[in-house]
Amino acid sequence: MFAPRLAALFRDHLGKDLFRLEPDTIGIAGHELADAILAARRATEGERPTFKPLQGRTISHGEAATLMRAIGHDVRQALKEPLPANAKLTGPWPLTGHTLLRDLILHPDQYRLRMLMSRYLELTPKLTWSVIAVGAALPGWLKPGTRLAQVAAGATGYQDRRHAMGMYRRTAAPVCFTISTLVANALWLGSPFDDGVPSRHILHEALRLLPPSWNILRNRSPEYPGIDPRIGHGDDVLILPLLSHRDPALWDEPHEFRPERWEHLDPDSAPGYLPFGHVSERCWGRHLVMPLAELLLDRVRETGLSVDPRQRKAKVPLLGLLGVDFIHVR
């Protein structure tokens, strides 16, 4: 059950290459036009989803690279060991998967940092910054933990501590949120799965039908009217993988969950397939997301779990991270 505005996109614009969404916003779902727009220039700092300015403070390339290396190290450490035998996988998803990932990757860190992974903080930015303000003011600043926490531990002074905690959340939360949402989407779309289908194919098909990053914003830019005269000089552009991933001109049976299609498709070059952004600027987290998502989905499949067959509906709310908001796994 898609939120009304998402359902309206399917109803009104599926199969179109370009259309007007708002008086100052153009929607684009045609894959050739999307390629041209995204290749025209690099994203500005305000368009980057993770490393855009935080509380008005610019995130430099060096700071972003340091944080990427840190979370990458922590994920690789987590992948060295199998999931705990007693890992809880039943219950409400994506919350259950999120909690498991938080504890798997960030368990060495102090509570004031791990609490920043709470999904309840998604309710409002004010709540998030209230928790950060308290954590930054508490005595006894951070002790060694994960590599990401070690980066934050170098902060001195209250304002730098607030920034460090905000960047800790900015860096780690998308990993936990995206993976748990992706696995929940896969479970809802296809469980129980055919034993012969690899988990990677299942995840790519879930990314196609319910792409967590379902839109890519590009603010108005002088390059765009030259690419297509239907784009005005004052128009922002919203690229919509949500629609290109179901374009009947690109996909056989586009609304059907068919993971076997990925036996013959390359996810890095399939036209219109942008779950991690354009080839010119891929999401930095894709090499972290897919291995952990496979690990988690493999364990779910090994233990014979699936969505409760009594659940017949799941809601997909209008949020930045697209996915089913609640499924019960048993």
Taking only the tens place, the pLDDT of each residue in 138-169 is 999 998 899 999 999 999 999 999 999 999 99
Helix 158-190 and helix 286-302, axial crossing angle in degrees, nearest 10? 50
Query: For the chain, what percent of residues have pLDDT higher than 90?
Result: 81
| Percentage of the chain modeled with pLDDT above 70 | 98
Question: Which token pair is 125?
Answer: 């930015």
Residue 178's SS3 state is helix
pLDDT at res. 195 = 92
Tell me the pLDDT tens digit for each residue of 44-58.
888 887 788 998 899
pLDDT digit string (tens) for 224-243? 999 999 999 999 999 999 99
Q: Cis link prior to 192 (omega < 30° from 0)?
A: yes
Residue 288 pLDDT level (bands cut at 50, 70, 90): confident
Answer yes or no: are the C-beta atoms of 130 and 109 closer than 8 Å: no
Separation CA 77–CA 109 (nearest Å): 14
Query: Mind listing the domains of the chain with CATH numbers?
Result: 4-329 (1.10.630.10)
Over residues 238-259, the mean pLDDT reads 96
pLDDT at 59 over 80: yes
Give me the chain's average pLDDT, please. 93
Per DSSP, the three-state class of 329 is: strand
Question: From CA 219, how far away is CA 151, in angstroms rounded?
Answer: 32
CA pair distance 210, 322, nearest whole angstrom: 6
Cα(95)–Cα(174) distance, rounded to whole angstroms? 14
Alpha-helical regions (H) of the chain: 4-13, 31-40, 61-79, 95-106, 111-114, 125-137, 147-153, 158-190, 199-209, 223-227, 241-244, 286-302
Determine contact, residues 108/134, Cβ cutoff 8 Å: no
pLDDT category of residue 283 using cuts at 50, 70 and 90: low
Q: Which of 93, 328, 305 is nearest to 191 (CA)?
A: 305
Q: Is there a contact between 26 and 19 (Cβ–Cβ < 8 Å)?
A: yes
Q: How confident is the model at residue 213 (pLDDT cuts 50, 70, 90)?
A: confident
Residue with the bigger pLDDT between 108 and 123: it is 108
Band (pLDDT 50/70/90 cuts) for residue 266 is: very high
Q: Grade residue 61 by pLDDT with cuts at 50, 70 and 90.
A: confident
**Who wins on pLDDT, 123 or 223?**
223
Nearest-angstrom CA–CA distance, 185 and 263: 20
Q: What integer pLDDT is reported at residue 131 of this predicted model?
A: 94
Q: What's the average model confidence in pLDDT over 112-133?
A: 89
Mean pLDDT of all residues in 301-327: 95
Cα atoms in the 13 Å half-sphere on the side-chain side of 243: 26
Q: What is the mean predicted confidence (pLDDT) over 186-214?
A: 95
Q: How many angstroms separate the CA atoms of 47 and 237, rounded?
A: 11
Comparing CA positions, the residue from 313, 307, 324 lying closest to residue 192 is 307
Question: How does pLDDT run across 70-120, given as a tens digit for each residue?
Answer: 999 999 999 888 888 889 999 999 999 999 999 999 999 999 999 999 988
The pLDDT value given to residue 84: 86
pLDDT at 284 over 70: no
Across residues 201-222, what is the average pLDDT? 95
Q: Compute the distance between CA of residue 307 and CA of residue 329 in angstroms, rounded to an integer.
A: 4
- Look at residue 285 in the predicted model and tell me its pLDDT: 64
270 and 154 Cβ atoms separated by less than 8 Å: no
Does the pLDDT at position 277 exceed 90? no
Nearest residue to 7 (alpha-carbon basis) of 327, 322, 292: 322
DSSP for 65-107, please give it.
HHHHHHHHHHHHHHHTSPPPTT----EEETHHHHHHHHHHHHT
DSSP tally for the chain: helices H, then strands E: 12, 6
CB 109 within 8 A of CB 145: yes
3-state SS of the chain: helix, strand, coil percent to 5? Answer: 50, 10, 45
Strands 25-28 and 18-22: antiparallel
Name the token pair of 222. Answer: 């002088």
